[in-house]
Amino acid sequence: MRCFFGYGADGFIESVEVCSGGFPDTHDLRDEDSAHPVVRNLREHRASNDPHIVGFLAYDCACPRAARVCECPGVARDLHYVDVLQDVLIAKPVVQMFIDGAPQTDADVTLARNPGTVVRLQLRGAVPDGESVELRGNRLHVDFPTPVPMTFSGGQTAEATLVAPAQGLDGGLFVWGKWSRRLRLRVKGFAS
Protein backbone atom coordinates (compact mmCIF):
# COMPACT_ATOMS: atom_id res chain seq x y z
CA MET A 1 0.00 0.00 0.00
CA ARG A 2 1.47 3.36 -1.01
CA CYS A 3 1.59 6.58 1.00
CA PHE A 4 3.78 9.66 0.69
CA PHE A 5 5.98 11.48 3.17
CA GLY A 6 6.24 15.24 2.86
CA TYR A 7 9.70 16.39 3.97
CA GLY A 8 11.55 19.62 4.66
CA ALA A 9 14.86 20.78 3.20
CA ASP A 10 16.68 19.10 6.10
CA GLY A 11 15.00 15.72 5.44
CA PHE A 12 12.77 15.74 8.52
CA ILE A 13 9.41 14.13 7.70
CA GLU A 14 6.77 16.81 8.21
CA SER A 15 3.65 15.05 6.90
CA VAL A 16 2.23 11.65 6.07
CA GLU A 17 -0.18 11.62 3.14
CA VAL A 18 -2.47 8.59 3.08
CA CYS A 19 -5.29 7.44 0.86
CA SER A 20 -7.80 4.70 1.64
CA GLY A 21 -6.32 1.55 0.14
CA GLY A 22 -3.12 3.42 -0.71
CA PHE A 23 -2.39 5.87 -3.50
CA PRO A 24 -2.82 4.39 -6.98
CA ASP A 25 -0.03 4.87 -9.54
CA THR A 26 -1.99 7.73 -11.13
CA HIS A 27 -1.76 9.77 -7.90
CA ASP A 28 1.97 10.53 -7.65
CA LEU A 29 2.61 13.45 -5.32
CA ARG A 30 6.18 13.72 -6.59
CA ASP A 31 4.85 14.89 -9.97
CA GLU A 32 4.75 18.70 -9.76
CA ASP A 33 3.01 18.91 -13.14
CA SER A 34 0.30 16.33 -12.45
CA ALA A 35 -3.13 17.29 -13.77
CA HIS A 36 -4.86 14.81 -11.46
CA PRO A 37 -7.16 16.81 -9.14
CA VAL A 38 -6.29 14.83 -6.01
CA VAL A 39 -2.56 15.35 -6.54
CA ARG A 40 -2.95 18.98 -7.55
CA ASN A 41 -5.23 19.81 -4.57
CA LEU A 42 -3.01 18.07 -2.03
CA ARG A 43 0.15 19.72 -3.37
CA GLU A 44 -1.56 23.15 -3.36
CA HIS A 45 -2.81 22.58 0.18
CA ARG A 46 0.67 21.70 1.44
CA ALA A 47 2.24 24.62 -0.46
CA SER A 48 -0.11 27.12 1.18
CA ASN A 49 -0.26 25.60 4.68
CA ASP A 50 3.15 23.96 5.00
CA PRO A 51 5.54 25.91 2.75
CA HIS A 52 8.55 24.28 4.47
CA ILE A 53 7.68 20.96 2.77
CA VAL A 54 9.98 20.82 -0.25
CA GLY A 55 9.26 17.34 -1.59
CA PHE A 56 7.43 14.04 -1.31
CA LEU A 57 8.78 10.52 -1.05
CA ALA A 58 6.72 7.44 -1.89
CA TYR A 59 6.58 4.75 0.77
CA ASP A 60 5.27 1.28 -0.06
CA CYS A 61 4.45 -1.09 2.77
CA ALA A 62 3.56 -4.77 2.49
CA CYS A 63 -0.08 -4.28 3.57
CA PRO A 64 -2.60 -5.30 0.89
CA ARG A 65 -4.74 -2.58 -0.68
CA ALA A 66 -7.80 -4.48 0.54
CA ALA A 67 -6.78 -3.61 4.11
CA ARG A 68 -7.80 0.00 3.27
CA VAL A 69 -5.89 1.42 6.28
CA CYS A 70 -2.61 0.49 7.95
CA GLU A 71 -0.34 1.82 10.69
CA CYS A 72 2.89 1.46 8.73
CA PRO A 73 3.31 5.11 7.60
CA GLY A 74 3.11 6.48 11.14
CA VAL A 75 5.61 3.96 12.43
CA ALA A 76 7.96 4.53 9.50
CA ARG A 77 7.76 8.30 10.02
CA ASP A 78 8.94 7.99 13.63
CA LEU A 79 11.82 5.69 12.69
CA HIS A 80 13.19 7.46 9.60
CA TYR A 81 14.16 10.69 7.92
CA VAL A 82 14.73 11.42 4.22
CA ASP A 83 18.12 11.74 2.56
CA VAL A 84 17.06 14.60 0.26
CA LEU A 85 19.99 14.14 -2.14
CA GLN A 86 19.36 10.41 -2.68
CA ASP A 87 15.56 10.59 -2.17
CA VAL A 88 15.58 7.56 0.16
CA LEU A 89 14.55 6.83 3.74
CA ILE A 90 17.31 6.61 6.33
CA ALA A 91 16.76 4.82 9.64
CA LYS A 92 17.11 7.05 12.70
CA PRO A 93 19.71 5.80 15.18
CA VAL A 94 18.65 4.12 18.40
CA VAL A 95 19.37 5.98 21.64
CA GLN A 96 20.04 4.04 24.83
CA MET A 97 19.67 5.33 28.39
CA PHE A 98 22.46 4.67 30.87
CA ILE A 99 21.66 5.03 34.57
CA ASP A 100 24.71 5.30 36.82
CA GLY A 101 26.81 3.95 33.94
CA ALA A 102 24.70 0.83 33.37
CA PRO A 103 22.71 0.39 30.12
CA GLN A 104 18.95 0.07 30.51
CA THR A 105 17.64 -2.74 28.37
CA ASP A 106 14.10 -2.86 29.71
CA ALA A 107 11.33 -0.26 29.31
CA ASP A 108 10.46 -0.67 33.02
CA VAL A 109 13.26 0.47 35.32
CA THR A 110 13.18 -0.04 39.09
CA LEU A 111 15.71 2.08 40.95
CA ALA A 112 16.68 0.88 44.40
CA ARG A 113 18.37 3.95 45.88
CA ASN A 114 18.20 5.69 49.23
CA PRO A 115 16.38 9.05 49.34
CA GLY A 116 18.79 11.89 48.50
CA THR A 117 21.00 9.69 46.32
CA VAL A 118 22.09 11.34 43.07
CA VAL A 119 21.29 9.25 40.02
CA ARG A 120 23.29 9.93 36.85
CA LEU A 121 21.48 9.73 33.50
CA GLN A 122 23.28 9.61 30.16
CA LEU A 123 22.28 8.89 26.57
CA ARG A 124 24.40 7.01 24.04
CA GLY A 125 23.86 6.24 20.39
CA ALA A 126 25.08 6.84 16.84
CA VAL A 127 23.61 10.34 16.78
CA PRO A 128 25.71 12.92 14.87
CA ASP A 129 27.86 15.27 16.96
CA GLY A 130 26.09 18.50 17.84
CA GLU A 131 22.57 17.06 17.58
CA SER A 132 20.39 17.62 20.62
CA VAL A 133 17.59 15.60 22.11
CA GLU A 134 15.25 16.49 24.94
CA LEU A 135 14.99 14.48 28.13
CA ARG A 136 11.58 14.95 29.70
CA GLY A 137 10.04 13.67 32.89
CA ASN A 138 6.40 12.88 33.50
CA ARG A 139 4.78 12.34 36.92
CA LEU A 140 8.17 11.96 38.59
CA HIS A 141 7.17 14.13 41.59
CA VAL A 142 10.73 15.39 41.96
CA ASP A 143 12.57 18.59 41.18
CA PHE A 144 13.51 17.57 37.65
CA PRO A 145 13.43 20.51 35.24
CA THR A 146 12.05 19.41 31.94
CA PRO A 147 12.80 19.41 29.17
CA VAL A 148 16.53 18.96 29.65
CA PRO A 149 18.45 19.44 26.39
CA MET A 150 21.19 16.86 25.91
CA THR A 151 23.70 17.31 23.09
CA PHE A 152 25.63 14.44 21.54
CA SER A 153 29.38 14.42 21.16
CA GLY A 154 31.33 11.28 20.32
CA GLY A 155 28.20 9.13 20.48
CA GLN A 156 27.12 10.20 23.95
CA THR A 157 25.76 13.11 25.96
CA ALA A 158 26.92 14.72 29.16
CA GLU A 159 25.26 13.34 32.28
CA ALA A 160 22.09 14.76 33.79
CA THR A 161 21.24 14.10 37.41
CA LEU A 162 18.12 13.12 39.29
CA VAL A 163 18.00 13.17 43.10
CA ALA A 164 16.17 10.24 44.67
CA PRO A 165 13.03 11.59 46.39
CA ALA A 166 11.92 10.51 49.85
CA GLN A 167 8.38 9.78 48.69
CA GLY A 168 9.49 7.48 45.88
CA LEU A 169 8.40 7.84 42.31
CA ASP A 170 6.48 6.19 39.53
CA GLY A 171 6.70 8.07 36.29
CA GLY A 172 8.32 8.28 32.92
CA LEU A 173 11.50 9.49 31.29
CA PHE A 174 11.14 10.31 27.63
CA VAL A 175 13.76 11.17 25.04
CA TRP A 176 12.69 13.00 21.92
CA GLY A 177 14.99 14.08 19.14
CA LYS A 178 14.47 15.06 15.55
CA TRP A 179 17.26 12.79 14.31
CA SER A 180 17.02 9.81 16.66
CA ARG A 181 14.39 7.29 17.65
CA ARG A 182 12.19 8.12 20.59
CA LEU A 183 12.88 6.43 23.89
CA ARG A 184 10.42 5.87 26.73
CA LEU A 185 11.24 4.44 30.13
CA ARG A 186 8.89 3.90 33.08
CA VAL A 187 10.84 4.63 36.22
CA LYS A 188 9.74 3.52 39.68
CA GLY A 189 11.35 2.90 43.01
CA PHE A 190 13.46 4.73 45.55
CA ALA A 191 11.46 4.88 48.79
CA SER A 192 8.18 3.67 47.28
Give me the residue spans of the domains in the chain: 2-91, 95-189
Q: Is the pLDDT of residue 179 over 70?
A: yes
Question: What pLDDT digit, counting tens, does each position of 14-29 carry?
Answer: 999 998 888 999 999 9
Q: Which fold has domain 95-189?
A: Immunoglobulin-like (2.60.40)
Its pTM surpasses 0.85: no
The answer to whether the beta carbons of residues 57 and 112 sit under 8 Å apart is: no
3-state SS of 23-60? Answer: CCCCCCCCCCCCCCHHHHHHHHHHHHHCCCEEEEEEEE
Q: Give pLDDT tens digits for 137-164.
A: 766 555 556 688 899 999 999 998 877 6
Per-residue pLDDT, 36: 93
Neighbours of 63 (CB within 10 A): 16
pLDDT in tens, 59-70: 998 888 888 778
> Is the pLDDT assigned to residue 192 strictly greater than 50?
no
**The predicted structure's pLDDT at residue 145:** 62
Q: What is the pLDDT of residues 117-129, one digit of tens each?
A: 788 889 999 998 9
What's the sign of the alpha-carbon dihedral 139, 145, 149, 150? Answer: negative
